[in-house]
Amino acid sequence: MLPRHLLIWCLITAATACYKDKQAGALFTKGLFPVVFAEADFALHPKNGRRMQSSKDCAPCHETAYRNWNLSRHRVALTNELYRESHEREPSPWCINCHAPLRLTGAESKPFHEEEGVSCLVCHVRSGKILAKNLPKKATAHEYTIDHRLGDERFCEGCHEFNFPTAATAMREGHALHYTDQPMQNTVSEYRSSAFYGNVSCGGCHLFAYTEASHRFPGGHAIERLRQDLRVEVSRTSPGSITLRIFALGIGHSFPTGDLFRTLRVRVIDPGGKIAEELELRHYFEPIAGAARSSTLPLKRRVREETLPPPQLDYVSMREYALAWPAASREVITELYIDYLNQMNTMTTRLSPRITRPLIKRETHRLPQVSGADAKG
């Protein structure tokens, strides 16, 4: 018989080995498993030799990265109100493995420093060493593990590309959760089918390494940037119709991408203030009948793509809509919004529309006067 404390120690070691095994090679398991640290997995502070357990420990020496990460969505991945509300509706342990992956051995069900979401440690620390893309020229501060995947989309893929689990296993994690072949988020495949693939990396547009903006990760919540990167044009195509064009400038994948509820909402308003048309650019899903208890089917499947597609050679992508418009009208007002929740949840949520559906921009487009002859024909 083993003494009790030894037995416990063995069990813990075996459990850690087991998690490590499952993670072998992959930095992130698309939410199947959390990232589990034993005491020795925390990296040592270069000056005082203590184990660094929080992103705050990195802050004094990596001030820029820390300041920007602190403003990023990665930082609030588990604590932001949109996530919290949606997790209340679907309280699966699976979600937390991406939104706050770090755990301690022996406490695998409880996130460690959950208020840090996707933290410095989640992305940069494994087995007591610092993960970096290349060995720094003067590598004196840390012990490093060099992983070139940090320089491209393979690093983001473990969290930003995954399928629907089967309906029957969606509330589980680890080997008890089974993925179907239906994409839930496929930002990485979208990127790989764009002209940016091989030219500009995900980090090139989101991470801005070695600059003042390093680690800011702007995306669907960066309203100021969206205002510049999305454009609406309106032109008169015939006396009774207009053409509306919506452009994404330099977005390296579809837009919206990522979370399945993201919608680019376009309101077309007439000079009298009436909403003449409301377009919803997004991935369209449909529930699958009888899926709820199925061990093979997802709850929903994608039936239609109406996003701004991954850009090709000119790095611009566009969608065009023909709308009926009175010949006498000289003005079109457009409003662009981004929705973070689906329509049902938008109606029942306690969050204000400023949070669930902020306005990106409102513009007035002038139309040329239609000549008398044209107006008649």
CB of 343 to ligand HEC, least distance (A): 15
What is the spatial distance between Cα 320 and Cα 336, in angstroms, rounded to a whole number? 15
User: 146: which strand partners?
Assistant: 132
CB of 237 to ligand HEC, least distance (A): 29
C-beta of 45 vs 330, nearer to ligand HEC? 45
CB of 191 to ligand HEC, least distance (A): 4
Q: Are 33 and 178 in contact (CB under 8 A)?
A: no
Q: Are 87 and 17 in contact (CB under 8 A)?
A: no
Q: Which residues of 173-206 are buried (b: 16+ CB within 10 A; e: fewer)?
A: bbeebbbbebbbbbbbbbbbbbbbbeeebbbebb
CB of 26 to ligand HEC, least distance (A): 11
C-beta of 69 vs 325, nearer to ligand HEC? 69
| Cα torsion 218, 220, 223, 229: sign | positive
CB of 320 to ligand HEC, least distance (A): 20
CB of 311 to ligand HEC, least distance (A): 8
Tell how strand 241-249 and strand 300-306 pair up.
unpaired
C-beta of 229 vs 270, nearer to ligand HEC? 229
- Residue 367 DSSP label: -
C-beta of 179 vs 270, nearer to ligand HEC? 179
C-beta of 131 vs 268, nearer to ligand HEC? 131
Side-chain-side CA neighbours of residue 48 (13 Å) = 5
What is the spatial distance between Cα 350 and Cα 368, in angstroms, rounded to a whole number? 44
Q: Are 363 and 334 in contact (CB under 8 A)?
A: yes
C-beta of 58 vs 242, nearer to ligand HEC? 58
Q: Are 252 and 202 in contact (CB under 8 A)?
A: yes
CB of 130 to ligand HEC, least distance (A): 5
C-beta of 301 vs 330, nearer to ligand HEC? 301
Amino acid at 298: P
